[in-house]
Amino acid sequence: MIHSLFLINSSGDIFLEKHWKSVVSRSVCDYFFEAQERATEAENVPPVIPTPHHYLLSVYRHKIFFVAVIQTEVPPLFVIEFLHRVVDTFQDYFGVCSEPVIKDNVVVVYEVLEEMLDNGFPLATESNILKELIKPPTILRTVVNTITGSTNVGDQLPTGQLSVVPWRRTGVKYTNNEAYFDVIEEIDAIIDKSGSTITAEIQGVIDACVKLTGMPDLTLSFMNPRLLDDVSFHPCVRFKRWESERILSFIPPDGNFRLLSYHMLSWDVGKINPQKLPSLKGTMSLQAGASKPDENPTINLQFKIQQLAISGLKVNRLDMYGEKYKPFKGIKYMTKAGKFQVRT
Amino acid sequence: MSSNSFPYNEQSGGGEATELGQEATSTISPSGAFGLFSSDLKKNEDLKQMLESNKDSAKLDAMKRIVGMIAKGKNASELFPAVVKNVASKNIEIKKLVYVYLVRYAEEQQDLALLSISTFQRALKDPNQLIRASALRVLSSIRVPIIVPIMMLAIKEASADLSPYVRKNAAHAIQKLYSLDPEQKEMLIEVIEKLLKDKSTLVAGSVVMAFEEVCPDRIDLIHKNYRKLCNLLVDVEEWGQVVIIHMLTRYARTQFVSPWKEGDELEDNGKNFYESDDDQKEKTDKKKKPYTMDPDHRLLIRNTKPLLQSRNAAVVMAVAQLYWHISPKSEAGIISKSLVRLLRSNREVQYIVLQNIATMSIQRKGMFEPYLKSFYVRSTDPTMIKTLKLEILTNLANEANISTLLREFQTYVKSQDKQFAAATIQTIGRCATNILEVTDTCLNGLVCLLSNRDEIVVAESVVVIKKLLQMQPAQHGEIIKHMAKLLDSITVPVARASILWLIGENCERVPKIAPDVLRKMAKSFTSEDDLVKLQILNLGAKLYLTNSKQTKLLTQYILNLGKYDQNYDIRDRTRFIRQLIVPNVKSGALSKYAKKIFLAQKPAPLLESPFKDRDHFQLGTLSHTLNIKATGYLELSNWPEVAPDPSVRNVEVIELAKEWTPAGKAKQENSAKKFYSESEEEEDSSDSSSDSESESGSESGEQGESGEEGDSNEDSSEDSSSEQDSESGRESGLENKRTAKRNSKAKGKSDSEDGEKENEKSKTSDSSNDESSSIEDSSSDSESESEPESESESRRVTKEKEKKTKQDRTPLTKDVSLLDLDDFNPVSTPVALPTPALSPSLMADLEGLHLSTSSSVISGLI
């Protein structure tokens, strides 16, 4: 499927290449550069570019183009989704994903890429598994490695890959057992000139940070699960349990992960006192010397409301089965402006 | 240090020898080649010396630098001989990096690459499944044609491995070997056929991928596995799901009849792409029989539905296209919500999803109408996303929502992004032609835009108005007059040309203005763009024919200018027009018809979506995105008129029973993983068999039946982890343990008889299937129970058995129970029999086993 991967920075240098099948010459990227020139802006470079013998599928993140070379028919989303997964993995490993960081950690990057694909087909894309295979670099480990000559490659074999819960590494141990959940909602809205709402919808996610010993089996229930209508899950969530009982039942991966995301079209504001209408006010000032914009510009808003999920979604309780200790549990709510635009 | 050691090496080779001994590899000393290179190229000298060093840390450093070179695309091939020697390094990281290097350069250095093969061959026999798997992975990635037979053998053996992980890697290796040597196709298909029967979710995705690449036309191989694949699907890893769903979509289109009713096609905007008239007649005939959906067809549609909630966009898209192509049209609606959800994702995902929605929305507006507002454009969207959203909005426009949409479009026209503003104007034009109620409104709106400050907006409006007026031959004199005035100000050539053409076409409707325009144009002719010049010539000709009194001289003047123009197209056109309109001796019959020719009724241009009919490509494919057939694209066939025999998908009970009886059971069949999500369900009979054991624990304690499912889940994985620990911890002890297990397992079989009865009571599903699975269950159960006691006994046996196990560990037949017997029989007679007191069940067990020895021997020979 995926033949090769080229990483290209904003100035058009190929700073990393990796091949999973026969080597494809980097000159194939010339077609990409042509398209890049035509597009003027990076975000307008088409994600799929046909060339005489190959197809170039790319994603643009952190000012880096990740360009995959393929030779035959493949669902384009398959490749695109995989490339995003690669970026996520780098971010997970190094904290940030940038050209200098990738260059500094080129060996780890290479080892990770080697494990992620076999002959161009995804092999291990779960970060729990990858981290078992190749340990992410930390300052401490770098120091220790230099002194003792030990390595970043896990000496354990990736047992998780063989287990029934492939997303969770085995033998997890913590002295403090904690499970934190963040319910984060973003409001996407377009408000027109007159102040009336054209569209408003809520995009929510529940991000989790679970550090629990052993193989905990968690259930998370909501006060008002009926709010969740359009949902997508992390693979650990048991579909059928959700369908029948509206309960999230799962064995979590170790560490940070996105448990679910949801989407709501309606935004129920609730009761508002007509005497005291809530209002947000702001002023906009042009930079000194800047010419007045041609047309009335669209204004993008950013705001944050702590400890509130605007949809009204509330977690009822979290239970743990399968382990005996008592974990520390925490939940946080937050509402943010997503793509919140005001047309003037 | 290196500077000293190197010459020493070269002179005596002594260092080399010690090192070889130390490494315990079978590599031939490549010192000759080494010396040759080093004298030529000094730059990688230090790396070579580091690789020759005795210290792992130096070697590791060298390998890291080399990998850095490879990553940058620098040529590191000359280091091959020095690197390949480290292929058997004990240090895992060095070894891994050597693998990386090897896979990269083996193709260029085929002879030297052969030196590493024996290391992998040895590793293929390693007791640890992960080492076997990685050896197979690297061996099959070395693209050296001479090792094709070795690869073939390795794949065959690995495909019968006990570990599903190794079998998964075997499936990957199939594709690698196929691309290296397509001649192996037939043999590889055999392996694919075997692996398709595999019940492990780990293997399913990979083998279907191999199937798609090697033999996508062998749809017959799928029949017997169809139901199993449908049932496994939810538990396959996400990438495998995508591949399987695409394959099953193609399969369904060849095996089931169309679920689409005649009535649906009306809603389909007359889309009869697949059916010719004859087909339709037949269809109507057939319609007399009410349509009932094949249960297998239903199974696929039902089992893919939950995957619409996958976090993976590719999976969601795969399900969406499956619904689009094979579900009844009334049911396809459920995919819209999920596709709309994907629009929150990255721009690349949005791009692909929007393209697919664009194609769908042309044919079935209703699907996406409720989500109209999700396609509203945000100022922060990249242009390519904006234009795709516009496309969809246009497709969704109807009488009910057009006024809302037009208001929205007004905002877009004001956008800073001029390319997008222009696209919006085109869109308004399309809405105007599609929805007759608003044609006038749109036209007025566009005319208003003619006074816009921005020239691009004006120009685009002119072009669109021109198209609209052409479609509406009614009186639009006012608009034309307005546009004629624009000629003084507007400079965009295509707009000027459009205005001139409009005036020419309608010259009889604006008799006063037209000649005046021609006069102005005659003045500026020489400075106009070529496009405009051609239209001036046309205008002149049309006026000459309708109003020669006023325009004869002007036209002749223009024709003279055109005659000496620099552009040959214009010179040609001038010559052509002159011959046609100015009567002379030579011009003959044609000039009589000049008026008819020039002022003929011209068909209005169709303002069509670029996504029209794009769905003859399977949705979600690369070909669909590019609107070109991509290499390796597999056509989606039309629905068959009559469904092929559905019984081909039946997995006969008798056949199963046969399969089970001789050996008691085929372990591989039964070795499917325990399904995570299924763990709470006990509805399906197929589940009960798959429940039987978790492969992760297959070498260790098996899944207990008892207890809450969640618990047992956890047990097994803990077990397996401890097993892994011990494996890596003391590899030497492993063989012992392994044999011990076999022993205990065999012994456990008699125990299992009790358990079996219990099982029969508790399980109420398909009998034959269940029986076999319950045997497995209980045997595995007892295996873990009896382990402690049998351990001591088996220790005695192990030494004798060890050699044998090694040889037979991966026999041709994949049957573990057979293997057990082979191991067990010769040895157990002398050793195990004297100790019946230890486990009386063993005796009974042995007797039972004796019955099947003959068959096992036979199959062993085969």
CB of A248 within 8 Å of a chain B CB? The answer is no
Q: Are B452 and B418 in contact (CB under 8 A)?
A: no
**B439 pLDDT exceeds 90?**
no
- Which of the residue ranges A218-227, B248-257, B696-705 would you say has the lowest mean pLDDT? B696-705
- CA–chain centroid gap for B776, Å, is 36
Share of chain B above pLDDT 70, in %: 66
pLDDT at B393: 94
pLDDT at B761: 46
Question: Which tops the pLDDT comparison, B740 or B408?
Answer: B408
Question: Which tops the pLDDT comparison, B54 or B666?
Answer: B54
Q: Are A62 and A87 in contact (CB under 8 A)?
A: yes
pLDDT at A164: 67
DSSP, res A237? B
pLDDT at B764: 42
pLDDT at A225: 87
CB contact under 8 A, A55 and B68: no
List, in sequence order, every beta strand (DSSP E) within chain A: 2-8, 14-19, 48-50, 55-61, 64-70, 117-118, 121-122, 178-191, 197-211, 217-222, 230-233, 247-250, 255-264, 298-301, 304-306, 315-321, 328-343
- Provide Rg for chain B, Cα atoms: 38
How would residue B28 be classed by pLDDT, with cut points 50, 70 and 90? Answer: very low
Q: Are A65 and A44 in contact (CB under 8 A)?
A: no
| Helix (H/G/I), strand (E/B), else coil: A336 | strand
DSSP string covering A164-224, please? SSTTS-SS---SS-EEEEEEEEEEEEEE-TTS-EEEEEEEEEEEEEEE-SS--EEEEEES-
pLDDT at B25: 37
How would residue B822 be classed by pLDDT, with cut points 50, 70 and 90? Answer: very low
CB of B131 within 8 Å of a chain A CB? The answer is yes
Nearest to B720 among A44, A163, A343 (CB): A163
CB contact under 8 A, B710 and A322: yes
CB contact under 8 A, B309 and A233: yes
State the smallest CA–CA distance between residue A186 and chain B in angstroms: 11
| Helix (H/G/I), strand (E/B), else coil: B260 | coil
- Give me the residues of chain A with pLDDT under 70, please: 138-164, 266-273, 278, 292-295
Q: Are B132 and B166 in contact (CB under 8 A)?
A: yes
* B619-640 average pLDDT score: 91
CB contact under 8 A, A296 and B414: yes
The mean predicted confidence, pLDDT, of chain B is 74
Q: Are A26 and A56 in contact (CB under 8 A)?
A: no
CB contact under 8 A, A162 and B696: yes
CB of B656 within 8 Å of a chain A CB? The answer is no
Entry pTM: 0.75
DSSP string covering B169-210, please? HHHHHHHHHHHH-GGGHHHHHHHHHHHHT---HHHHHHHHHH
CB of B90 within 8 Å of a chain A CB? The answer is no
- Residue B558 is encoded by which pair of tokens? 């223009």
pLDDT at A153: 59
DSSP string covering A125-167, please? --HHHHHHHBPPP-HHHHHHHHHH---SB-SS--GGGGSSSTT
- Residue B638 is encoded by which pair of tokens? 């039309």
- Residue B322 is encoded by which pair of tokens? 């499956």
CB contact under 8 A, A107 and B72: no
**B275 pLDDT exceeds 60?**
no
CA dihedral B593, B598, B603, B608 (to 10 degrees): 150
CB of B720 within 8 Å of a chain A CB? The answer is yes
Axis crossing angle, helix B383-396 with helix B402-413, rounded to the nearest 10: 160
pLDDT at B50: 87
Q: From A38, A36, A31, A78, select the one nearest A56 (Cα to Cα).
A: A31
CB of B692 within 8 Å of a chain A CB? The answer is no
Q: Are B437 and B401 in contact (CB under 8 A)?
A: no
pLDDT at A211: 92
**B272 pLDDT exceeds 60?**
no
CA dihedral A222, A226, A228, A232 (to 10 degrees): 90
Question: Which tops the pLDDT comparison, A164 or B608?
Answer: B608
Question: What are the phi and psi torsion angles at A72 (to 5°)?
Answer: -130, 170
**CA B180/CA B191 separation, integer angstroms:** 16
- Provide Rg for chain A, Cα atoms: 24
Distances (CA, A) of A139 to A94, A136, A153, B347: 11, 10, 16, 34
| Nearby residues of B815 by Cβ (< 8 Å), 6 or more positions away | B663, B666, B667, B668, B856, B859
User: Torsion-angle region of residue A62: left (phi > 0), alpha (psi -120 to 50) or beta?
Assistant: left
Q: In this structure, how many other beta carbons lie within 10 angstroms of the beta carbon of residue B810?
A: 17
Nearest to A232 among B237, B311, B416 (CB): B311
* B825-840 average pLDDT score: 41
CB of A190 within 8 Å of a chain B CB? The answer is yes
CB of A232 within 8 Å of a chain B CB? The answer is yes
Question: Which tops the pLDDT comparison, A177 or B669?
Answer: A177
- Residue A163 is encoded by which pair of tokens? 């287990």
CB contact under 8 A, A73 and B384: no
pLDDT at B509: 81
- Residue A276 is encoded by which pair of tokens? 């005291």
CB contact under 8 A, A50 and B626: yes
| Nearby residues of B426 by Cβ (< 8 Å), 6 or more positions away | B460, B464, B607
CB of B312 within 8 Å of a chain A CB? The answer is yes
pLDDT at B714: 43
Nearest to B631 among A22, A43, A72 (CB): A72
Q: In what order do the strands lie in the sheet with A217-222?
A: A247-250, A217-222, A315-321
pLDDT at A152: 58
